[in-house]
Structure formats: structure tokens, C-alpha cells
A and B are shown apart, each in its own frame.
Chain A
Amino acid sequence: MTLLSGPPHVITVGAGLLQESLDAQAVPTTAVAWRPPLPGTADALARVLADPRLPAANERAVGRLTSARPQLVGVRRASEVLALPELMFLHAGPPIDWERASGPMRGALIGAMLLEEYAHDVPAAEHLLASGRVRLEPCHRHATVGPMAGVVSPSMWMLEVLDTEHGGTAYCSLNEGLGKVLRYGAYGPEVLDRLHWMDRVLGPVLSAAIELSGPIDLRALIAQALQMGDELHNRNRAATSLLLRELAPWVVEAAAGSAAEVLRFVNGNDHFFLNAAMAAGKVSTDAARDVPGSSMVVAMARNGTDFGVQVSGLGDRWFTGPAGVPDGLYLGAYGPADANPDIGDSTITETSGLGGFAMAASPAIVRFVGGEVADAVAATRSMYEITLAEHPAYQIPGLGFRGTPVGIDLTLVARTGVLPVVNTGIAGRVAGTGQVGAGLVKPPVEAFTSALMALADCAD
């Protein structure tokens, strides 16, 4: 009990008048810039915060998230590792059907129908998809994440990432590059040709290379890339280079004949590492799932129509709101009218303390997502206000090697009204267009408030 030992340093939260009277007495203070919680959340907040399980539950959830040790252990066909019977695809975001699917999601599904030869032309593919005979399930339900449309079909090669700390495994497809690609909903001949090449050459070569190299420590690689100016969502140039450096000798040993084209392809795609970062994020957040009473977000994902959130203490229930249209810069002559609402599982990077949350580490992308370096620093700083911890391994040099903000807490989002900062690519609205830009997107507030209400309903 040291309270009475001398004049106190006071944290003030509330009326400015009381703060002023302490200032007048020269009492040292720290003022909280308090504002009322999101409308309608006051009761739910009080109930969730009064749950005696909460502090320990959140400590456990964020502890598991930040202690995960994701390692790239293999590249394997989806049909080998995922339960994907014929006429079933995985997709990004919360559950959706053909009826409600947006342009790029439909485009990617059509492309996957053609790739798997479930249909021989576009009208036949559309017909079958619209008939309801094709099963669609979220990637997240299958220990998988997919960028943009995130469509996974049986023949695709998947990165296999193992969490050596907790034993979980997660998967993500191989990155096709930028421009007209399946994940942005393009399904033209050049898209399918590339996918066939990936199926024939890239997948088998990488698989053999990793077999030779042994596990690649993604946690260490991500930590290095952050210090080299990546935030691991919209900028993966350093991480891709590091991965390429690790893999190159093994690729040559595994398949000397194809090594040049494989290495050239990876080198030509600055986003190649994104899919590995996503699988690393997924395996880490999955380790934090199902902690009873925890208010920590374990998934944020979009299907192009809805933005969904999953919470550690709420099992695999999704809480959704309408996906917003990103605010950003456009390629060529594209503009906001061409943009599809937000899409993809890549927000798993933000959920695991990277991407928008690590923006301060990545001054190079700040202009691209519309802003100045100071905005990037402010974005990361504001995320510390809604997260439970600072990542012990993922650090930001510009902030004095402070750990990235990690572990989004629903109660802090509701209390502060501050929503997660999400960096993202922008897909074209019309099926088959591909990428039209990149920018920042604001998640819908109701996804977070409805999750909070549900948590309040099962509070002790």
C-alpha cells in the first residue's frame, strides 16, 4: 500500500474540470482521451468485463497466439491434405452461396470449375454453380486461408505450415502473381494456363525443394522482413526475397531443369510470400481458438459481400457486416466505381499483428495506401489501444523495436470505437477483371458489436 506515501501520479478519465483542478495543484497526471463506447454496447461491455474468466482467458488466448512457431514444412496438393470431394470448393471469408457472391468470387469459382474440369465452358460452369450442386465452404473451417476470393480446389498446391509450439497445421494456396489472376476473379485462358503451369511445375518443384531443405522458420523470417520494411500484407518484397534465398539452392538440387523458370516466377512476384504469411497467421490464431470467455478476435475475413469476425470464446460462429469498398489508389484507368467490396482471408495478417497493424514498419507502402509516414506510425500506435499484447518476436525498428500490436480485443474495440486498420488489394467488381488497386478498408462496426453481444450472452 504505497498510495499514501507521497503525492500521487493520477490517471484521469472523464471530466476535464477535475483534470484542470489537478493541473492547478501541479499534481502530475496522465489524461485518458475517453469517449463513450460504440452506441448500444454499454450493457454488453459491463457484462463481458464482469466475467471473472475474462482476464485469464485473454491472457491465455493472446499468449498462445504470440508463442506460436509457424514453420513451412511442405507443399502438398489440396486433395491430399484437405477433405475436398468432387464439386466442393473452399472460399475466403464467412459462408456464402452463389446467389450472394460478388463478381470476383463468382469469377474465381468459374475459373476453379474450369480448372478441375467440372465444366467445359463458362456458361456450363455458371449453370452448375447456380444449380446449388456445388458445395461452398469457408477456408477457415478447414484450417486454410485464401487471399482475395480464396478459392481452393482439389488440384491446387498448398503451403503447409506447422506450429511447432502447439502442433496445429494450416494451409494456403500458392500465389499466382498480380494482375489477371484467379484470386481476383479472372478466369481467362492466360489465368488457366498459369494455373496449369503451377500445377505441373511450380507445385512439384517447391514440394521437392522443401522436402530437401527441411522446415523453414516463418516466425524468424517474418521478424526479419518487418525490419526490412515489409508489413506482410501489402508489402512482401523483403520476405519474398528472404524465402527465395533460402529456397534457391534446394530448388536447383531438386529440379535443375525447371529451377530457372521457378525462381524467375517467384522473383517476379513480390507477393509470393503473402500466402506463407497468411498460413503462419492462420496457424497462430487457430492456436488461440476456443478459450472459454475470451474476447480476442481469432479471424477477420471477407468474402466480397460480408466482412466476418470469429472470436476465441465463441467457437466457429461468424459475426458479419457488409464488406466496405477500400479507399486507395487504382491501377491504370480503374477507379472506385470499378472496385468490388472488400474480399479475402488476408486480414489474418492483421488478426495476427501484421499488415495494417505493422504499418509503421513499412514506410515504403504508405504512399500506395494513401498517406504519409506519420499516418503509418499513427495507424500502428492506434492499434495498441485495441490489442491485448505486443508481439515478442515481430518488432518495429522505427518504434524502438516495440513489438507489433497483436490480439484484437472486442471489448477494447467497443470501448474506444477504434476499428482494426486493414491494408488490402482491391478486386474489380466484374467477374474476370482482376486486381484494380490497393488501399485501406474499414471493417463494419456491427461485426464487432454483434460478437460482443453474443459474448455477453454467454458471460458468467
Chain B
Amino acid sequence: MTRDAVLLRKGVYHDSVTLMRVSRSLSDLPGMQVAIVAMATELNLGLARDLGFDLPPADPGDLLVALRGDGVDTAAGELDQALARLSASRTQAADQPPLTTRSAAKAPADLVLVSVPGEHAFCEALDAIHAGLPVMIFSDGVPVAQERRLKLLAEERDVLVMGPDCGTAVIAGAGLGFANVLRPGPVGLVAASGTGAQQVTSLLDQAGAGVSHVLGVGGRDLSAEVGGLSTMRALRMLDDDPATELIVLVSKPPDPAVARAVRDVVETLRTPVVSALLGERDLTAAAEEALRALGRPVPAWESWPGWSPTSTYTKLKGIYSGGTLCAEARLIAGSGEFTDYGDDAYTRGRAHPMIDPTLRLEALAQVEPGDVVLMDVVLGHGADPDPAASLASAIAHVTARTAHHAPSHATGHGAATVIVALIGTEGDPQGLHRQAAAFREAGATVFTSNAQAARHARNLL
């Protein structure tokens, strides 16, 4: 019998991504309709209330469990086990684990990776800077005034602040956040865009050119308020790094005054710099320019044709997880309806679409005959361990559902087609070719260059 069960656990904290994975595993149990396991923030309480749950008063520090289905008791039992596993792995480490970055930084370390909710990231990042440690702030939603304050303080303490909203960094082969497995080599990146950096480095890897480091700086670093402080510091660091022979700077178009300041710094460097400023040069072209600067041949970027029925296509839908990839595709395609599901508006209260495919699966279910769907799939550490597992079957469903629509004279609509920009390397845990094969089998056309994918989409219309 279907029924609701609502439980509150006091004093149990887990981060939202962990809890979303627990929620998902509970929802998958037979007979379950809804399973919400989340911290009882206003947002999450609202979500549960909207679903018709009757909720007792709760603090944001409480763990909210709202279950609906005919297996509620089984699910509650599973939940206890899942949470017990989580706390076991937490308490094993040490008698008293550090509770703040300040405390952790008393022991030797080289870098702090902050991914707490944005409103709390400032404290942890500040601890890192005070301890003289570089910090990568993965968290988004950090006020720009706090970013400025952190970066000014970092100038005094001579440390690098990567972020906020820095999704990607690679330090001497260690991938932080969303990061591809790259062969080591001479190219260092300074990136104000995470997925932009992933595109450039994945193509360089494909061409056999390796990467020394990827230093993210956060999407706002080159704005007038922040003044490019981290970009300039990162450029100097790579210039001083013996492993780096060429620097690629990836960014959205910077503030003009900041651009001048950055250019002044670039002129003082011994290491050549290739810049990939979105709008001036696409990411693929930047990777090609870097290869030429290294004196290496530019290969034909791998792509695999899919099932492209002769049809009349009427509408381009871009459903993206990477902000810069989305912007690049929109610029190249010139028209179409583009959505960046990685934007803050879509990630409040849920995981990034590179981890949680739900919203993009919903978008795929809305595809209509005559649509050209353009989407990115980003591989690497931190991303969905097998994106094709969910997305490829949804794509197969799109092609099957619309296949019988012969081009109609009345509507001009025919079948729909899906184009995937697959960003990743063969070394990634998901495996570039394994993923490509799954998407091809589902009927998608697969490109490793987002720019080429966008051009292909534009040409279909």
C-alpha cells in the first residue's frame, strides 16, 4: 500500500551530492515513488512540501527523509544502512578529524579544495590563505566581494586562489574537481572556464600533446571587480614552471582594462602564450594553434557519423552541461534554443548535470520531430561514472520515437537527430571510445570537437 513516511534526524550532516546519491538509490527500490533524503534547508523543505508531504518543523541542520511508496519500511531500513556506511568511512580516519580547514592545515599540505555550499566557502578559503596554502574553490554562489577580498589577501600571502566556481584543475597530473586524465607534457593552461579547459586539453591529449598543469581561476576573475588577479598570478607561476613550454589562456571575453593588464603580464613572460578568448577564437582553434606553436601536426579530430535520416530539420535545441561549451555552440550555430543546465539557476538544490542527468533526460523526452539536438557529454574524474548508461538510452528513444515521421509536406517535420560533443580522453575512467560507441549505437552523431559538432548541427538546418 502506498503511504508517506517523514523522518527527521537531528545532528546528522552529509553533503548534498552524497545525499542525492542516497536518494537516488532509494528511489530505485521496487515500489518507491518518491525518496527525498536531504538536509532540511528551506529549499529542500519547499521541494518536499510541493510534493504533498506533511512536514514537522525542522532546522537546516536536521536530515530530512521523506518517502512515498509501498516499500517505505524497506527503504527506511536501506537508508540506515547507507548512512551507516557513510559515517563508518568518516570516523575510521582519525580519532578527531579536523573540523575546519584551519585545523587540517596544521599538518603539512600543498593545496586546499573547497566544495562546501557557496555561502560557507569564504571561511574555509580564508583559512587556507592564512595558512599560506593555495586554494581551489569549486563552490559556486560566492559573492564577488568575498572573491575580491580573498584574492587581495592572497596577493599579500603570495598564494593562488582558483575560483570560486572553479570546476577544473590539474596539478602535476592530479585532477581536482571535474578533470580529465591527461598525458603529461609541455602545455600549461590558465582557465577562467572549466569545461573550456577540458575541451582544449582533451583535444591536445588526442593529438598526442600532453599537459603540465591546468590552473583554473574562476569565471569572474577577468571581470573589472576582480581584476584578473588570479589569472596574472597563474600565468607567472606557469612561466616559472620548468615543465611548461607553452601556455594556453582560456576565457570568456575579459573586461577591456583587465585584458590590457593581462596582456602586459603576458609580454613579460618567457613562455609563449596562446589565448582562447571565446568570441575571438573557438576552443578547437585554440587547441590547433597550440599544436602549431609546439610544431606538432594538427590531426583530424575524431568523430563518428550517426543515424542521420534524410529529413527536414526545423529547430536546433542545445541541451548543455558546460557553460562555455554552450556559449561556444550558440555562437557557432547562430540560432537555436540553448539551455545551460550547469547554470546556477538549475543547480540550486541538485547536483551538477555532469553528475545528475535528470534534467537533461527530461529535456530529451521533450524532443519533437524535426528537432536537431546538440548536447555535450563531459567525461573525466568527478563526472558521471557512465553518462551513456542513462543518456544513450534516452537518445535511442528519441530516434525511435521520431523515426516514423517521414518528412511531411504539411508540417515540414521529419525525424529528430541527436549530435553529441563528447569531451574526454581515452585515459578517463569512462573511456572516450567506450562512451562514443554507446552514443553511436543509440543513433547519435558524435564529435570530440564541440565547435565541429555545432557546425554540423547548423549545416543540418
Q: A interface vs B, CB < 8 Å?
A: 1-18, 21-22, 24-25, 27, 30-37, 39, 42, 45-46, 49-50, 55, 377-378, 381-382, 384-385, 411-412, 415-418
Q: Is residue B277 within 8 Å, beta carbon to beta carbon, of the partner chain?
A: no
Tell yes or no: B84 within 8 A of A by CB. no
Tell me, yes or no, whether B171 is within 8 Å of chain A by CB: yes
Question: Which of A32, A42, A377, A411 touches B101 (beta carbons < 8 Å)?
Answer: A32
The answer to whether A34 touches B171, judged by C-beta atoms less than 8 angstroms apart, is no
Pairwise interchain contact B100-A35, C-beta atoms closer than 8 A: no
Interface string of B148-170 (1 = CB under 8 A from A): 01000000001010000000000
A-B contact pairs, 22 of them (CB 8 A): A3-B111, A4-B171, A4-B238, A4-B243, A7-B174, A10-B176, A11-B111, A11-B112, A12-B112, A13-B124, A16-B86, A18-B177, A21-B382, A27-B174, A31-B93, A32-B99, A34-B100, A36-B117, A37-B120, A55-B130, A378-B96, A381-B96
Which of A10, A46, A385, A417 contacts B112, CB < 8 Å?
Answer: A10
Which of B61, B103, B119 has the largest number of chain A CB atoms within 10 A?
A: B103
From residue A399, how far is it (CB to closest CB) to chain B in Å?
A: 11
Q: How far is the CB of B306 from chain A (nearest CB, A)?
A: 30
Q: Known: A8-B110, A11-B104. Contact between A24 and B381, CB under 8 A?
A: yes
Give CA–CA (A70, B113) in the complex, Å.
43
Are the CB atoms of B99 and A14 closer together than 8 Å? no
Contact B116–A34 (Cβ < 8 Å): yes
Cα(A365)–Cα(B364), bound, Å: 66
Binds A, one of B10-18, B25-33, B65-73: B10-18
> Is A4 touching B98 in the complex (CB atoms < 8 A)?
no
Which residue on chain B has the smallest CB distance to residue A16?
Answer: B18
- Known contacts: A3-B171, A33-B99. The answer to whether A50 contacts B93 by CB under 8 A is no
Residues 158-217 of B at the A interface (beta carbon under 8 Å):
158, 160, 171-177, 179, 212-213
Give A34's nearest chain B residue, CB to CB: B116
Kindly provide the distance from the CB of B256 to the nearest chain A CB, expressed in whole angstroms: 29
Are A13 and B110 neighbours in the complex by a CB distance under 8 Å?
Answer: no
Q: Across the two chains, which residue of chain B brings its CB closest to A12?
A: B113
Query: Please, which residues of chain A bring their CB within 8 A of the CB of B334?
Result: none
Shortest Cβ gap from B198 to chain A (Å): 14
For the complex with contacts A8-B172, A11-B128, 12 further pairs of A-B residues with Cβ separation under 8 Å are A5-B172, A6-B172, A8-B110, A9-B110, A13-B124, A16-B17, A36-B60, A36-B120, A37-B123, A46-B119, A49-B122, A49-B126
From A9, A13, A49, give the contact of B108 (CB < 8 A). Answer: A9
A122 to B228, CA, bound (A): 76
- Contact call B98/A18, Cβ cutoff below 8 A: no
Whole-angstrom distance between the alpha carbons of A341 and B40 in the complex? 32
Do A42 and B109 touch across chains, with their CB atoms under 8 A apart? no
Asked whether any CB of chain A lies closer than 8 Å to the CB of B417, the reply is no
Complex contact B115–A13 (CB within 8 A): yes
Give the nearest-CB partner of A5 in chain B. B172
Asked whether any CB of chain A lies closer than 8 Å to the CB of B102, the reply is yes
With a CB–CB cut-off of 8 A, which chain A residues contact B86? Answer: 16
**What's the least CB distance linking A50 to chain B, in Å?**
6
Let me know if B103 and A384 touch, CB within 8 A. Answer: yes
Asked if B429 lies at the interface with its beta carbon under 8 angstroms from chain A, I say yes
The complex places the Cα of A453 from the Cα of B455 at a distance, in Å, of 56
Q: A3-B171, A46-B122, A412-B100 are known contacts. Are A35 and B13 too (CB-CB below 8 A)?
A: yes
Complex Cα spacing A412 to B98, Å: 12
User: Roughly how many angstroms separate A2 CA and B119 CA in the complex, as a whole number?
Assistant: 30
Q: In the complex, which residues of chain A have a beta carbon less than 8 angstroms from the beta carbon of B177? A: 18
Kindly state whether residue B267 has any CB partner on chain A within 8 Å: no
Chain B residues, CB < 8 A from A34: 99-100, 116, 124
Q: Which residues of B contact A50 (CB under 8 A)?
A: 122, 126, 146, 149
Rounded to whole angstroms, the CA-CA distance of A381 and B103 in the bound complex is: 11
Query: Taking the complex as formed, is B59 at the interface, i.e. its CB lies under 8 A from any CB of chain A?
Result: yes
Known: A49-B123, A378-B96. A17 touches B382 (CB 8 A): yes
Closest to B244 in A: A4
Is A32 a contact partner of B97 (Cβ separation < 8 A)?
Answer: yes
Given A9-B108, A14-B114, A32 and B174 touching (CB < 8 A)? no
From B132-140, B316-324, B338-346, B398-406, the one touching the partner chain is B132-140
* Contact residues, B339-377 vs A (CB, 8 A): 355
The distance from the CB of A28 to the nearest CB of chain B, in whole angstroms, is: 9
Complex-state Cα separation, A416 to B104, whole angstroms: 13
Chain B residues with CB under 8 Å of A13's CB are 100-101, 104, 112-116, 124
CA distance A32 to B107 in the complex (A): 12
How near does chain A come to B161, taking the closest CB pair, in angstroms?
12
Determine whether B95 belongs to the interface, using a CB cutoff of 8 Å to chain A.
yes
Q: Residue of B at shortest CB range from A4?
A: B241
Verify if B237 is at the interface (C-beta below 8 Å from A): yes
Q: Does B105 contact A (CB under 8 A)?
A: yes
On chain B, the residues within 8 Å of A8 by CB distance are 109-111, 171-172, 174
A352 to chain B: closest CB distance in Å? 21
- List of 3 A-B pairs having minimum Cβ-Cβ separation, nearest first: A14-B115, A8-B110, A381-B96
Complex Cα–Cα for A386 and B122 (A)? 18
Which residue of the partner chain, among B108, B138, B213, contacts A18 with CB atoms under 8 Å?
B138
Would B149 and A11 count as touching, CB distance under 8 A?
Answer: no
Contact (Cβ within 8 A) B146 A1 = no
Residue of B nearest to A2 (CB): B110
CB distance from A460 to the nearest CB of B (A): 12
A4, A39, A412, most chain B CB atoms within 10 A: A4
B25 vs chain A, min Cβ distance (A) = 14
Question: What residues of chain A lie closer than 8 Å to B13, measured between beta carbons?
Answer: 35-36
Q: How far is the CB of B110 from chain A (nearest CB, A)?
A: 4
| Cross-chain contact A30 with B116 (CB below 8 angstroms) | no
- B280 interface residue per 8 A CB criterion: no
Cα distance, A15 to B123, chains bound together (Å): 16
* Complex alpha-carbon distance, A384 and B104, angstroms: 11
Give the residues in chain B near A17, CB-CB below 8 Å: 17-18, 355, 382
Closest residue on chain A to residue B110 by CB atoms: A8
Whether a CB of chain A sits under 8 angstroms from the CB of B264 is no
Smallest CB–CB gap between B4 and chain A, Å?
Answer: 26
Question: Which residue on chain A has the smallest CB distance to residue B122?
Answer: A46
B409 at the A interface (CB under 8 A): no
Provide the residues of chain A in CB contact with B116, threshold 8 Å.
Answer: 13-14, 34
State whether A36 and B61 are in contact (beta carbons under 8 Å apart), knowing that A14-B116, A381-B95 are contacts in the complex.
yes
B437 → A minimal CB distance (Å): 23
Q: Are A416 and B100 in contact (CB under 8 A)?
A: yes
Partner of A11, one of B95, B113, B172, B382: B113
Is B302 located at the chain interface by the 8 A CB criterion?
A: no
Tell whether B386 is near chain A: CB-to-CB under 8 Å: no
> Nearest chain-A residue to B233 (Cβ)?
A1
Quick one: closest A residue to B131, CB to CB? A11
Contact A3 B100, CB 8 Å, known A18-B177, A39-B59, A50-B122: no
Say how far B93's CB is from chain A's closest CB, in angstroms. 7
Closest beta carbon of chain A to B334's beta carbon, Å: 36
Q: Say yes or no: A46 contacts B123, CB within 8 Å.
A: yes
Q: Please, how many angstroms separate the alpha-carbon atoms of A32 and B109 in the complex?
A: 13
On whether the beta carbons of A39 and B171 are closer than 8 Å, the reply is: no
* In the complex, residue of chain A having the shortest beta-carbon distance to the beta carbon of B177: A18
Interface flag for B240 (CB, 8 Å) = yes
Given contacts A11-B111, A34-B124, A36-B120, A385 and B381 within 8 Å (CB-CB): no
Judge whether B117 and A11 touch: CB under 8 Å. Answer: no
Contacts of B17 in A (CB 8 A): 15-17
Cβ contacts B227-254/A at 8 Å (1 or 0 each): 0000000000110110100000000000
A58 to chain B, nearest CB (A): 11
Residues of chain B with a CB closer than 8 A to A5's CB: 172
